[in-house]
Structure 1
Amino acid sequence: MPWGRQGAPEDPRVRIVEAASRCLAKYGLDRTSLAVIAREAGVSRQTIYKYFPTKDDIVAQALEKEASEASERLMAVASANSNAEDFVVDLCLSAIEEFGRNPAISPVISVLEHADARGRLLTPEVIAIARHYLEPILDYRPDRAQYLDEMTETYLRILLSLLTIEGPSSASPDSLRAYLRRVLVPALGLGATSPS
């Protein structure tokens, strides 16, 4: 992508999407308006309408960009481990950090958007979307392949609860890491006492 002298992209479309990403992180979805995005991008509202028909179109692209970049960071951090237990703990900690930085890309939003007609949140579609984050576990533990969907569901249940309910286990990064090793690792069937 071409960049201008001051570090801003020359392509107005790219500049608008990046501005929308910053606005979502700073102000949240409800307070991110076209006027706010235009001001952040240094363009007029008319320029925005030239490239995007609606605010929803800009927000969708910004959220897709942010989610993709967050996904890359999550996997880079988690993949730096030498065993499945550390991988899953670091994946969860990194996810909490990423989604705390920009709540608009939280899996809570995705789960709510994919709820089925009965109101079930962890639908097969949500499990399928999240499964790729846990697939690297199979590099360490190929014996867990048949349980990958179940592991993904369990991981999501714990991650969603940590993102939405504060408790003593999340008081500090160290206490959260210890909690995840005690609770998440065995819940996924990992570690020394893995069930078969």
Structure 2
Amino acid sequence: MAHHGWGGRPPASDAEARQRIVDATARCIDRHGAAKTTLSDVANELGVTRQTVYRHFARIGDIVGEVAAQGAESFVDRLVAHLQGIGDPAEAVVEGMLFCVRTIPTEPRLSTMLQIRDAAAFGRGATTADAIAYGARMLHRFPVDWAAAGIGEDELSGLAEIIMRLLTSFVEHPSDPPHEHDRIRALLDRWLAPALRPPAVLAHGGR
């Protein structure tokens, strides 16, 4: 591992070097956006050569993917905190989706999840097996007793896939003119929420 450059503070391990490259890439994305961030930008940010960066990542897309993955973890923490106290599965899913629709487009690091194929959660990779499994793990963290709501473990993957597909559509392909959030909530309440409510509740008109 090279010990020159790095702003005079060489990393102590390969793991530290990789994390500092990821952090530098995140800063570049904040300034320029993911699409305009190059490997040269990252190397300049760190005060190292391109070859030094290549020792740890084969291409800029791999680094951006790691930025997206780490951003996804932080984002899910915030999402779960936002949902605390909402135990109803339909309400939690609708509110969670609205939180995503509001938040993802406004933050450059989260938006990288929409711009790369191998992102951990959203975007064009949102329907891969790994992404759906990630979505199911995310649902496990919701403050919802899924079993008590009649939603089995084997059904969470299907729910995760539907959520990922809908989120990708809402965020990447907004309506023209864009829907207000109240309109999106109304759509989800009408067409998604009923699938998450027990049949007995639906049969009695919600009573």
Q: Same fold (TM over 0.5)?
A: yes
Q: For residue 83 of structure 1, what is the amino acid of its counterpart?
A: D
Say which SS state the counterpart of residue 144 (structure 1) adopts.
Answer: coil
Q: What is the rounded CA distance, in whole Å, between the counterparts of 2:116 and 2:191 in structure 1?
A: 21
Q: What is the rounded CA distance, in whole Å, between the counterparts of 1:148 and 1:84 in structure 2?
A: 11
Flag the 1:61–1:150 CA change in 2: closer, same or farther, 3 A. closer
Match of 1:139 in 2: 145
Flag the 1:188–1:23 CA change in 2: closer, same or farther, 3 A. farther
Q: What is the rounded CA distance, in whole Å, between the counterparts of 2:177 and 2:92 in structure 1?
A: 19
Contact 1:96 1:163 in 2 (8 A): yes
Question: Does 2:47 correspond to 1:44?
Answer: yes
Contact 2:87 2:144 in 1 (8 A): no
Contact 1:108 1:160 in 2 (8 A): no
Q: What is the rounded CA distance, in whole Å, between the counterparts of 1:169 and 1:89 in structure 2?
A: 22
Shift of 1:112: 3.3
Higher relative contact order (CA 8 A, sep 6+): 2
1:112 counterpart (106, 109, 124): 124
**Mapping of 1:1-196 within 5 angstroms?**
13=17, 14-39=19-44, 41=45, 43-46=46-49, 49=52, 52-56=56-60, 57-100=62-105, 101=107, 102-106=110-114, 109=117, 110=119, 112-113=124-125, 122-135=127-140, 136=142, 138-139=144-145, 141-145=148-152, 146-167=154-175, 171-189=179-197, 192-193=201-202
Say which SS state the counterpart of residue 139 (structure 1) adopts.
Answer: coil
Flag the 1:65–1:37 CA change in 2: closer, same or farther, 3 A. same
Q: What is the rounded CA distance, in whole Å, between the counterparts of 2:26 and 2:95 in structure 1?
A: 25
Shift of 1:92: 0.6
Gaps spanning 5+ residues in structure 2: where?
A: 1-8
Between the two proteins, what is the percent identity of the paired residues?
22
Flag the 1:76–1:53 CA change in 2: closer, same or farther, 3 A. same
Contact 2:89 2:197 in 1 (8 A): no
Q: What is the rounded CA distance, in whole Å, between the counterparts of 1:183 and 1:107 in structure 2?
A: 28
Q: What is the rounded CA distance, in whole Å, between the counterparts of 1:148 and 1:169 in structure 2?
A: 33
Contact 1:89 1:181 in 2 (8 A): yes
Say which SS state the counterpart of residue 150 (structure 2) adopts.
Answer: helix
Q: What is the rounded CA distance, in whole Å, between the counterparts of 1:122 and 1:58 in structure 2?
A: 21
Which structure has the larger Rg? Answer: 2
Match of 1:5 in 2: none
Q: What is the rounded CA distance, in whole Å, between the counterparts of 2:32 and 2:93 in structure 1?
A: 31
Shift of 1:170: 5.1
TM-score normalised according to structure 2 size: 0.65
TM-score normalised according to structure 1 size: 0.68
Q: For residue 139 of structure 1, what is the amino acid of its counterpart?
A: D
Match of 1:4 in 2: none
Cα deviation digits, residues 9-51 of structure 1 (max 9, x gap): 9968444422311323443333111332345x4x313388167
